[in-house]
Amino acid sequence: MAKKKKTTFLKGEKILYFLIGLLIIGNILGQSFSMALLSKTNIEVESMKKKISKQENLNQSLEMKINELASLENVEAVATTLGLEYNNNNIIVVGDN
């Protein structure tokens, strides 16, 4: 009966195989970590976009309210309720000589 030859690795080969295995596992873990970080960042970006959209809508609404309150009809109505009246003689035109 023939003897089975036992394969033994040299000390340098063992270290080399260990380092290769360590690099493969490190690469897998690194990719997983970077994918999770990218996903988290994307979620934050979408959340920020929603907040920006809500703020833009609020700004637009407030701008419309300002334009409504600053309209000539509204100013005249407030002036008459406060007892003020329109006097054309008090108007001074600047720039006409």
In this structure, what DSSP letter does residue 82 have? T
Would residue 94 count as lying in a domain? no
Number of helices (H), then strands (E), in the chain: 2, 0
Would residue 29 count as lying in a domain? yes
pLDDT of res. 63:
95
For the four alpha carbons of 15, 17, 23 and 28, in that order, the dihedral sign comes to negative
Structural domain boundaries enclosing 17 = 12-84
- Non-local (6+) Cβ contacts of 85 within 8 A are 79
Would residue 59 count as lying in a domain? yes
Would residue 89 count as lying in a domain? no
Three-state SS for 30? Answer: helix
Would residue 91 count as lying in a domain? no
Q: Is the pLDDT of residue 97 over 60?
A: no
Report the residue count for the chain.
97
The structural domain count of the chain equals 1
Q: Is the pLDDT of residue 33 over 60?
A: yes
Would residue 72 count as lying in a domain? yes
Would residue 1 count as lying in a domain? no
The CA distance from 18 to 20, in Å, is: 5
Q: What is the pLDDT of residues 48-84, one digit of tens each?
A: 999 999 999 999 999 999 998 888 888 888 888 998 8
pLDDT of res. 8:
81
